[in-house]
Amino acid sequence: KSVAYLTPFLEEEKRRVGGVEKPAARILMATVKGDVHDIGKNIVGVVLACNNYDVVDLGVMVPSEKIIEAAKREKVDIIGLSGLITPSLDEMVHMAKEMQREKMTMPLLIGGATTSKTHTALRIETAYSGPTVHVLDASRAVGVASTLVSDTLAEKFVADTKIEYQHIRDARAGKTAKPLATLDEARANGF
């Protein structure tokens, strides 16, 4: 209800300013198929809109075909996926595979209560060669989006994120697990 209340004010502000300022980027947002939760997505949308992003919100229960079609039609710079329930995680993986199949290259942002950096690194980022970033919460969305569309910061951020996600995969596979401290070391490091 609060998002619905704020939206006309945001639109009026854009109209009043006369659209002089070019949007920072165009971001498509959707809650994936099988999920009807949109509170978090709506909050992220308002935060982005307040920070000069043009947000295309497809709503809830959006199948991958519709997301890809809208992304192409609307010429968006970034796609943001949201999900709250566990089955959303598999749908996000499916969406990443579809983006890869369509040879898309735009950044893919992943967010929602059941999502995690680990799941994004293990399952979603490995399915899509474009930049894939888990966004912890609405307060981080603008920083991540602005970095991804920056001419000077994007390349390093994407590379650093890929390295971080590879470390997560390696640690999960046991390749870089830190050796455990000995009992004597642990006792010496006690309280």
* Radius of gyration over every alpha carbon of the chain, rounded to an integer in angstroms: 19
CB 61 within 8 A of CB 35: yes
pLDDT digits (tens, 9 = 90+) for 84-131: 999 999 999 999 999 999 999 999 999 999 999 999 999 999 999 999
Burial of 140 (0-12, 13-18, 19+ CB in 10 A): middle
The sign one gets for the Cα dihedral 30, 31, 32, 36 is negative
pLDDT grade for 83, boundaries at 50, 70 and 90: very high
The set of catalytic residues is 35, 37, 88
pLDDT of 21 above 80: no
Residue 30: enclosing H or E segment and its boundaries?
Answer: strand 26-31
- Other C-beta atoms within 10 Å of 34: how many? 16
pLDDT digits (tens, 9 = 90+) for 40-52: 999 999 999 888 8
| Structural tokens at position 188 | 């010496």
